Structure 1
Amino acid sequence: MKKMKVSVFSLVVAGSLVLAACGEDNATTNPEEGGGGEAAGLETNIVTIATGGASGPYNIIGSTLAETYSSQYDVNSRTQTTGASVENVNLIKEDKIEMAFTMSDVVSQAVEGTEGFTEPTDKISQIAALYPNYVQIVTTADSGIETFEDLRGKRIAVGDQNSGVEVNARMLLEGYGITYDDIDVDYLGYAEAADGLRAGQIDAAFLTSGLPNASLLELSETLDIRMVSIAPEDVERVAEDQSYFIALEIPAGTYGNEEPVPTAAIMNALVVHSDMSEDDVYKLTKTFFENLDTLENSHQAAADITLEAAQEGLVAPLHPGAQRYYDEQ
């Protein structure tokens, strides 16, 4: 009888283990249960995120996001450093990437087929409005440049050619009646522009990004710099033709500046290829917002990303997967 009791007990335990295993299988194979079914993975095997320069917020935040996607979904997710906004939307249009960080004005131009884009596109869908990119115009303290108008006749770094930084710089200069014929233009990214200022090879630079810009922060610690302001009334005037510009301030102490620096800003956008499936974009959107703390730890610009403001000022059609996520909130 003793042996019989042991055998029955063993059968009960074995049966319980089998049932538990079946329950786990059911939990991982039903993508609609458990708030989105992250354990089921993604339909796509690759999520390439186009960012910007290696030291910029796009790439720092994007790299953390790619690591999160890779870890959570066992997918090949990585960043691709680029010249930023214009190149990023072109990479989506060319079906070469799945996701990108970009400035809102460039997305709008690409969707509508205006400015540097020859025809409209329906390949770009938006996931969210992100954080503001601040126009940060920096010069050396002894350059003699004190106002925006003083940039005329100077050698200016305006960002990588066809980047969002360059597009914004050109628009702002034109808003002050300054064309590229009135300055010596250098197409330099963040790090190269900082090096150029340090070496005395350029007079000023546009380093438009979230706050703080790593290259500008490092420069401020080794060089006596001056931030060139843009008055709110001038931002409003330029915004009459370029509605993307808003008036904000670079807070005191960001780069050793004692007072806030008035300037222009443009919202950033997170976009995806429109052909990505609704389920995949739902999961990517959900994971993005559930890991905002992790993204903020990588770069403080992400602190300005909020679920509440994510659908404000959208400049491209909202992807159905992102819409599904927002509808659940």
Structure 2
Amino acid sequence: MKKFRSSLLFVVMLAMAMVIAACGNGGGNENDEGNGDAEKKTTSLSILTGGTGGTYYPLGGAMASIIEDETDYKASAQSSGASAENMSTLKNGDAEIAFTQTDIASYALNGELMFEGNKVDNVQAIGTLYPETVQIITTKDSGIDSVEDLKGKTVSVGAPGSGVNANAQQILEIYGLSFDDIKAQNLSFDESTDGIQSGSIDAAFITAGTPTGAVEALAAQKDVKVVPISADKAKELMEKYPYYAEDTVPAGTYGIDEDVATVAVKAMLVVRDDLDEETVYNITKAIFENTDKITHAKGKLIKAETALDGIGDMPLHPGAEKYFTEKGVK
């Protein structure tokens, strides 16, 4: 009887061993297939954008989809506090790619303004995308026809330490003016246009893609005027601050009768400099050769041919440089 129980136990253990082995083989095949998928998507990339209601976030989502479709990398768009925060996050190594403005990137690179004492030295450019236009907004009956006419006026120049504030200071400087020559107000876009409508301020600096919602709302109530920046002053500005580029507010925008010459900083993509050349080359190529897949209106402005305009002193990543050299852009 004891021998029978021993034999029965041996048979049971043998059967269990065969089942485990069979499961192990089947699982191994499934794991092999899973590993194949994992190997296909070798790198996971985070793209820092801006708030979910802004322009950066939907563009970042479209670019993440393009990267996943066109390369062997995973990518995801992350909402954030936009330009300045994005530069700091890349410095800390907590993401790989980010949207920012060219002027903010320059301040970060050189440790200036909001980055004083906190220089960002591990970030390089992929390329610029589209203009963030500097718009000096007033009304047709304000008597303000030029930047010089702002002297003595009440003018919104954005929050202290903001990109708009720096734009206003630099443009006034080129015209021989400073904040001491105006009655400077530190207002948001909506506060600025509300102030123009109520008459509590005379004009406002607004740096944003056109058309800008706050200005459109003003144009529904008042006849809006966009103050021009003359060609010679734009050239002088760009020579001193190379992250600016020439731009135009087109006729019809806000109901204006003709094109208005101005300047713009650019929205740009930047990347940590420790990403390898091949990875950044593949990312750059995927984005700039598939802009037709970007449904957002700004997608039409994203072109390899203009991707180095207004890049300023931000160094180009070798992977991006390789792509633009192949395209004959650089």
Q: Deviations over 1:285-318 (max 9, x none)?
A: 34422442243x3134x32221233245543232
CA-CA distance at 1:126 after TM superposition: 0.7
Matches within 5 A, 1:80-99: 80-82=80-82, 84=83, 86-99=84-97
What is the match of residue 215 of structure 2? Answer: 216
What is the match of residue 99 of structure 2? Answer: 101
Helix, strand or coil for the counterpart of 1:222? coil
Change (3 A) 1:312 1:199: closer
Change (3 A) 1:88 1:165: farther
Change (3 A) 1:240 1:284: closer
> Contact 1:158/1:205 (CA < 8 Å) preserved in 2?
yes
Say what the alpha-carbon RMSD is for the aligned residues.
Answer: 3.6
Structure-1 separation of matches of 2:53 and 2:159: 13
Helix, strand or coil for the counterpart of 1:237? helix
What are structure 2's unaligned runs of at least 5 residues?
1-28
Q: Deviations over 1:256-281 (max 9, x none)?
A: 11111121233432112223455553
> Contact 2:100/2:268 (CA < 8 Å) preserved in 1?
yes
Is 1:170 the counterpart of 2:165? The answer is no
Is 1:317 the counterpart of 2:315? The answer is yes
Q: Deviations over 1:210-252 (max 9, x none)?
A: 3322332333233321111111122223344334444432221
CA-CA distance at 1:175 after TM superposition: 1.5
Structure-2 separation of matches of 1:30 and 1:322: 26
Change (3 A) 1:70 1:246: closer
Matches within 5 A, 1:148-227: 148-227=147-226
CA-CA distance at 1:28 after TM superposition: 5.9
Structure-2 separation of matches of 1:186 and 1:227: 18
Change (3 A) 1:74 1:81: same
What is the match of residue 78 of structure 2? Answer: 78
Change (3 A) 1:283 1:247: closer
Count of aligned pairs:
294
CA-CA distance at 1:136 after TM superposition: 0.9
> Contact 1:59/1:81 (CA < 8 Å) preserved in 2?
no
Matching residue's letter, 1:77: A
Structure-2 separation of matches of 1:117 and 1:272: 21
Matches within 5 A, 1:256-267: 256-267=255-266
Structure-2 separation of matches of 1:27 and 1:311: 39
What are structure 1's unaligned runs of at least 5 residues?
1-20, 32-39
Is 1:43 the counterpart of 2:40? The answer is no
> Contact 1:66/1:78 (CA < 8 Å) preserved in 2?
no
> Contact 2:87/2:120 (CA < 8 Å) preserved in 1?
no
Q: Normalising to structure 1: TM-score of the pair?
A: 0.73
> Contact 2:88/2:120 (CA < 8 Å) preserved in 1?
no
Structure-2 separation of matches of 1:106 and 1:276: 21
Helix, strand or coil for the counterpart of 2:247? strand
% of aligned pairs identical?
A: 35
Change (3 A) 1:101 1:201: farther
Change (3 A) 1:283 1:42: farther
Is 1:270 the counterpart of 2:269? The answer is yes
Structure-2 separation of matches of 1:192 and 1:70: 40
> Which is higher, the Rg of structure 1 or of structure 2?
2
Change (3 A) 1:255 1:63: farther
Structure-2 separation of matches of 1:107 and 1:160: 18
Structure-2 separation of matches of 1:54 and 1:205: 23
Structure-1 separation of matches of 2:183 and 2:280: 44
Q: Structure 1 residues 277-286 or 122-131, which shifts more? A: 277-286
Matching residue's letter, 1:153: G
Structure-1 separation of matches of 2:288 and 2:81: 23
Structure-1 separation of matches of 2:77 and 2:183: 40
Helix, strand or coil for the counterpart of 2:131? strand
Change (3 A) 1:282 1:183: same
Change (3 A) 1:143 1:241: same
Q: Which of 301, 304, 315 pairs up with 2:301?
A: 304
> Contact 2:250/2:260 (CA < 8 Å) preserved in 1?
yes
CA-CA distance at 1:112 after TM superposition: 3.7
Matching residue's letter, 1:202: I
Q: Deviations over 1:52-91 (max 9, x none)?
A: 7944x44553454456668886644222134x4x444334
CA-CA distance at 1:124 after TM superposition: 0.9
Change (3 A) 1:81 1:120: closer
Matching residue's letter, 2:81: T
Change (3 A) 1:289 1:244: closer
> Contact 2:52/2:58 (CA < 8 Å) preserved in 1?
no
Change (3 A) 1:319 1:244: closer
Q: Which of 111, 132, 151 pairs up with 2:109?
A: 111
Q: Normalising to structure 2: TM-score of the pair?
A: 0.72
